[in-house]
Amino acid sequence: MAWTIEERAWDDPAGEALRAAQRTELDARYGSDDHEPGAAPSAADIDVFLVAVTPSGTAIACGALRRLDARSAEVKRMYVEPASRGSGVAAALLRSLEQQARAHGWTTLRLETGPAQPDAIRFYEREGYRPIPLYGAYVGSDLSLCYERTL
């Protein structure tokens, strides 16, 4: 499957639809809508938002970066619609986020996922992210697993 990765505004309708689909999937996996410690990302704190689209213009994946400090950022809202999983779009999107991070001067990327997302855990570990202690709003959360990669 072919796709292109585009930078879009956080409130882009295709991006909003992908994030809503992600939320629905995670609500089902965790059995509730209370599975994200800390503040949800917003247009006010997302520095980069990328959307992968097919040649016909269909949005199939998204991911964002939120600045943590001068040298690090957090990967947020990585999501690939189910029919496109296994196509390589997730890895391409993550590499694009890493390129964007470097362009912003960030040398470390962190992220949070959870125990009900074994596919995400395998993906991030395969892509070079290593487990780290819980950080920030995730400290003390039973639903959080945190990862980091030095760029």
Tens digit of each residue's pLDDT (9 = 90 or more) over 46-82: 999 999 999 999 999 999 999 999 999 999 999 999 9
Given this model, what pLDDT does residue 39 score?
82
Is residue 79 within 8 Å of 21, Cβ to Cβ? yes
For residue 129, what pLDDT is reported?
98
- Do 97 and 65 form a contact (C-beta atoms < 8 A)? yes
Q: Quote the mean pLDDT of the chain.
A: 95
Question: Which one of 3.40.630.30, 1.10.10.10, 3.40.50.300, 3.30.572.10 gives the CATH number of domain 4-150?
Answer: 3.40.630.30
Q: Are 93 and 75 in contact (CB under 8 A)?
A: no
pLDDT band at residue 1 under the 50/70/90 scheme: low
pTM of the predicted structure, to 2 decimals: 0.95
pLDDT value of residue 37: 82
